A and B are shown apart, each in its own frame.
Chain A
Amino acid sequence: MKRPVARPVTPERDDAEPARTPRAFEPNAVTVTEADFESVPPSDDLVSPEPRRIGWVGRVLWTAGGILLSAGLALAAERLIRDLFARYEWLGWTGLGVLGAFIVALLALIVREWSALRRLRVLDQLKADALTAIATDQPAKARAVLSELEHIYASRADLARARQSLKDNAPHMLDGTEQVHLAERLLMGPLDARARTLTAASARRVALVTTVSPRALIDVAFVIYESIRLGGAIARLYGARPGFFGFWRLAGAVLAHLAVTGGLVLTDGVVEQLVGQGLAAKLSARLGEGVVNGLMTVRVGIAAMRVVRPLPFETQKQPVVKDFIGELANVTQSVKETP
């Protein structure tokens, strides 16, 4: 038989914190722990940072590879000229002359490519600057953007009037945002309209060719060809002069843009696409394919516009796939009517 036992189950109370009596101190003796907003300099750059460039290992790799390759080429050229001289002297001189011409042409090409790449970078930078000017509303920043735009479009005869209007009005505006908006309205407005026309025309051609072409391979080739042509045309329209490498960069940017916005397509006219496809497909499978390929071209055009346009879309409406549905519908209509 066990005895009744009682054990306390509440844990032993640990010593309560001694209540602290209120006291007052001299303010000088206190170390201020409050975070001081002033001490953190406000970030001047309100635009997202650029993606990371190539790392140093990669840079060393490419540089060393480049040096080796150039050295090999230089050696080969040297040996060739020496051989030519060994054969006949006049042949050697001719070879030297041709090599000189080749090098000069190569240099010219490099300069052109370099300037084209630089122009693309300038356009990118300009867009970032414009965003900063709009965000901070500083007239000095906006003025820098405006003078850069003026420089880019200085040789464009079609924008002469718009440039003059901008020059007349901008000095009277004291807000950065307003100045950039004015520039967008005046300069980008007409360019946007022409870019739209180019895109619509391209899409129409693609739709038409796809509908009537006998083989799928021809479609694919034509879509690629039209996309390249459209991208180049839009880039030239906005003031980029893409050379060979510049074009690859541009194409990469457009593809990246398409990849990123691919998800957004769900909100941008996907219903119309499906409906269009469904309707057209009922009429004819080829017609449906034509519409789809046309829409693809439209997307390429829109992506190219977004990539090369030197100002962000603020006052002007961003083009969306929906805007071009009507054009494509017209094509399908006309194809249907022609027997």
Chain B
Amino acid sequence: MAQSPTTIVDEIGIALANIADAATGTFTPTLRLGVTGLSRAGKTIFITALVHNLLTGGRLPGFSALTEGRFIGARLAEYPDATIPRFAYEQHLAALTGKPAEWPESTRRISQLRVVLRYQSTRWLAGMRGPATLNLDIVDYPGEWLLDLPLLSLSFAEWSAEALERARRPASEHEAKAFLDVLGGIDPLKDANDVDAEALATAFTQYLRLSREDGRALSTLPPGRFLLPGDLKGSPALTFSPLPPQGHGVRSKSLYAMLEHRYEAYKDKVVRPFFRDHFARLDRQVVLVDALRALNAGPSAVADLETALTAVLSCFRQGESNPLSRLVSRKIDRILFAATKADHLHHTSHDRLEAILNRLLANASRRARFAGTETKSLAIAAIRATREGEIREGGETLPTIIGTPAEGQVLDGVTYDGQTEIALFPGDLPAEPDSVFESDKPLALNFLRFTPPQKLDRNASGDAVLPHIRFDRALDYLIGDWMR
């Protein structure tokens, strides 16, 4: 039986927090933007580019508030929650604009930031009051943790059954063998003891780590804290593993009961606060999907990605919202599905990428639209690392992208050193989105990772102008109507 992801107490807390927000936000409304994406989808880059473009009034011709001259400026502000680290915007930007420019490190902990936007409304009542302000709250977190959200509605037995079924699949035989051996040597109904629990948890963590490094089963690996434990490392809430489901009447002192108890504790003490504090009160959501990496890895990875995204997105609160209902319950009324890293493709393939994205998210977006949420799909690149060109070969004109592949990227047996610039034709995306799921005919595709642009334009005040693809449209869709 699926459980609700929150308890009654949580709900009351959420409603009270919303009322408090509404009270303090009468004059300065707060827009909570949920940047959602699995690990390596580009959340940190997206947030860095968003903050930088807003702060410096970047090159955003499609962002109506800026083009129409209503946007006055932005600044960073103190985040109201003092216990959470600040998003390291300056460090990330320094990495991107340094010499040599590098992508920021992958996120290992939660962080947040508030951007205060100043603009003037065109509506007559709001416009008469002069410039208005809007707080934009953004949270960055490791994408692995997102996979925990579906656990909130799964019991220990359900989760165990799912996890074990996945571990026993022939595809993951190599990674899961050690864990399954340990599991086979332990009777779940014996007396609870920490030695066995630790042995199981270690083997399980090792299995998760191996399958992440393998890159095939890139997405469906809860619990996320096992990979990035933070300061919870070694605590009982992180020392459990799936066990074969048992019938009724399990002794309360058995190993099974202990691990079940710990699983519930993990949900209650780790996952639920994360969900309640950061995801239960969002206004807008952008779902970043790195479809290209999954396409590189093959059909099973694509199928995994679809499953994971559908499960994760079903946890969010979507639906129409109006000023009155927002007092107590905030709902996501607009979702942007963004296929990131569109700069790894020539623009003539972008519509196919969007079609694949739509196919991947078909279930999630149907559900969202049923709830009354607007959705939109875009192929974007928050920071564009490549240029475009054409190459003639054998009487054929191939659309290519020009960029410097990151160190260690391999194509046709050539390993790149991170210095040489190449023109790459990554292969044609299929015209039929469904064919990315078909395992019998592998697609001839190879997307390389590129280094960030090494030479950036500067604007009049000396700030770097980050090149992008359709980032302005994404921004306009997400926050544009709040600044009307």
Contacts and interface: CB of A to CB of B under 8 A. Distances in A.
Interface of A: 139, 168-169, 172-175, 178, 181-182, 185, 315
Contact of A182 (B62, B347, B469): B62
Contact of A169 (B61, B68, B347, B350): B61
B350 A185 contact: no
Nearest to A182: B61
A172 B68 contact: no
B233 to A, nearest CB: 45
Nearest to A166: B61
Interface in B10-48: none
11 contacts: A172-B59, A172-B61, A172-B467, A172-B468, A173-B62, A174-B347, A175-B470, A178-B61, A178-B473, A181-B62, A182-B62
Contact of B350 (A168, A174, A178, A181): A174
Nearest to B61: A169
A169 B470 CA distance: 12
Contacts of B350: 174
A182 B470 CA distance: 13
Given A181-B62, A185-B68, 20 more contacts: A139-B347, A168-B59, A169-B61, A172-B59, A172-B61, A172-B467, A172-B468, A173-B61, A174-B347, A174-B350, A174-B469, A174-B470, A175-B470, A175-B473, A178-B61, A178-B62, A178-B473, A182-B61, A182-B62, A185-B67
Contact of B59 (A169, A178, A185): A169
Interface in B453-482: 467-470, 473
Contacts of B469: 174
Contacts, number: 26
Interface string B57-70: 00101101001100
Q: Is the interface of A mostly helix, strand, loop or mixed?
A: helix
A139 B351 CA distance: 12
Nearest to A175: B470
Nearest to B60: A169
Contacts of A315: 64
Interface string B248-270: 00000000000000000000000
Contacts of B59: 168-169, 172
Nearest to B379: A174
Most buried by B among A172, A178, A181, A185: A172
A272 B67 CA distance: 33
Nearest to B457: A168
A38 to B, nearest CB: 12
Contacts of A168: 59
B98 to A, nearest CB: 23
Most buried by B among A139, A169, A174, A178: A174
A315 B62 CA distance: 11
Most buried by B among A139, A168, A175, A185: A175
A172 B466 CA distance: 11
B482 to A, nearest CB: 19
A185 B67 CA distance: 8
B432 to A, nearest CB: 14
B320 to A, nearest CB: 26
Nearest to B388: A174
Nearest to A189: B68
Contacts of A182: 61-62, 67
A179 to B, nearest CB: 9
Most buried by B among A168, A173, A182, A315: A173
Nearest to A140: B348
A106 to B, nearest CB: 48
A232 to B, nearest CB: 30
A182 B467 CA distance: 17
Contacts of A178: 61-62, 473
Most buried by A among B59, B61, B62, B470: B61
A183 to B, nearest CB: 10
A178 B61 CA distance: 9
Contacts of A139: 347
B456 to A, nearest CB: 13
Nearest to A174: B347
B382 to A, nearest CB: 14
A174 B469 CA distance: 7
A97 B57 CA distance: 66
Contacts of B468: 172
A193 to B, nearest CB: 13
Nearest to A165: B61
A257 to B, nearest CB: 28
Contacts of B473: 175, 178
A181 B469 CA distance: 16
A33 to B, nearest CB: 24
A8 B289 CA distance: 76
A174 B345 CA distance: 12
A315 B473 CA distance: 14
